[in-house]
Amino acid sequence: MARSDGQAEPAARHRLYAGAFSDRVRGTSDWDAPAPVAGWTARDIVRHLVEWFPGFLAGGAGVQLPAGPSVDEDPVAAWTTQFDAVQAILDDPATAAKVLSNPHIGDVPLDRAIDRFYTGDVFMHTWDLARATGQDETLDPDLCSEMLAGMTAMDEILRSSGQFGPKVPVPADADPQTALVGFIGRDPNWTPSR
């Protein structure tokens, strides 16, 4: 699982972190539950992930993911189809030799691009789905710290991209998960109002 630099391989990280998201998807009983992202429901969290990523792969690497059912018809099957397809790509030894090209990030090995941009997004949205649906929202504290350190260095760029809301203040001694959630613009104390 570990590379020579001590980091986990992209295939193993996806299996672990997107697998944890899969558990929350299968555990969701109310797809219309409000989510911590303003204006979103639990269904919209899955919709976001299955709608942005196929275009990113196709446009940057010419990789076409198989289309699953729509999120409106069957959010579990829509997610599972994408999870299985991405895992198959990452498990393929040839993927490490392929490149994803994007005008904003340049040329990046395909497996690293998936890990950096997609698996990280899935990881963060795991908290959103878990919080919206009353499931276990515990995230890996080491990855929370790693992601927070990387994103803090790019704070202005990330905010100007519109992908993150304003930071939510958290105590200086907040645990890594709370700090990450606040950094990406979520209120760590948010609860669904029903």
CATH of residue 104's domain is 1.20.120
The C-alpha atoms of residue 172 and residue 156 are separated, in whole angstroms, by: 20
Is 172 a residue whose pLDDT tops 80? Answer: yes
Mean pLDDT of the chain: 91
Q: Which amino acid is at 156?
A: E
Q: Are residues 77 and 169 part of one domain? A: no
Q: Which one has a higher pLDDT value, 116 or 127?
A: 127
Is 4 a residue whose pLDDT tops 50? Answer: no
Render 76-133 in DSSP notation, one character per residue: HHHHHHHHHHHHHHHHSGGGGG-EEEETTTEEEEHHHHIIIIIIHHHHHHHHHHHHHH
* 2 inside domain: no
Q: Which amino acid is at 96?
A: A
Q: Are residues 93 and 184 part of one domain? A: no
- What is the tally of structural domains in the chain? 2
Residue 34 corresponds to which tokens in the numbers above? 């409000």
CB contact set of 73 (below 8 Å; sequence gap of 6+): none
pTM metric for this prediction: 0.91
Q: Are residues 145 and 50 part of one domain? A: no
* 5 inside domain: no
Is 163 a residue whose pLDDT tops 90? Answer: no
Q: Are residues 115 and 73 part of one domain? A: yes
Residue 151 corresponds to which tokens in the numbers above? 């994103």
> Residue 154's pLDDT is what?
82
Segment 111-128 mean pLDDT: 95
Q: Are residues 113 and 52 part of one domain? A: yes
Q: Which one has a higher pLDDT value, 132 or 152?
A: 132
**How would residue 164 be classed by pLDDT, with cut points 50, 70 and 90?**
confident
With contact defined as beta carbons under 8 Å apart, do 69 and 84 qualify?
A: no
Q: Are residues 167 and 87 part of one domain? A: no
Is 121 a residue whose pLDDT tops 80? Answer: yes
The C-alpha atoms of residue 59 and residue 151 are separated, in whole angstroms, by: 24
Residue carrying the six token digits 């519109």: 162
**How would residue 8 be classed by pLDDT, with cut points 50, 70 and 90?**
low
Cβ-in-10-Å burial (0-12, 13-18, 19+) of 92 comes to middle
Structural domain boundaries, residue 27:
10-138
Is 50 a residue whose pLDDT tops 80? Answer: yes
Is 161 a residue whose pLDDT tops 80? Answer: no
* 156 inside domain: yes
Is 3 a residue whose pLDDT tops 50? Answer: no
| Radius of gyration over every alpha carbon of the chain, rounded to an integer in angstroms | 16
> Residue 31's pLDDT is what?
98
Q: Which residue, among 98, 119, 94, 93, has the nearest Cα to 109 in the 3D structure? A: 98
> Residue 194's pLDDT is what?
58
> Residue 156's pLDDT is what?
79
> Residue 2's pLDDT is what?
41
**Longest Cα–Cα distance in the chain:** 49
Q: Are residues 167 and 114 part of one domain? A: no
Q: Which residue, among 147, 159, 138, 94, has the nearest Cα to 119 in the 3D structure? A: 147
Q: What is the pLDDT of residues 22-33, one digit of tens each?
A: 999 999 999 999
* 152 inside domain: yes
Q: CB neighbours (10 Å) of residue 104?
A: 7
Q: Are residues 149 and 76 part of one domain? A: no
Q: Are residues 78 and 154 part of one domain? A: no
Q: Are residues 56 and 33 part of one domain? A: yes
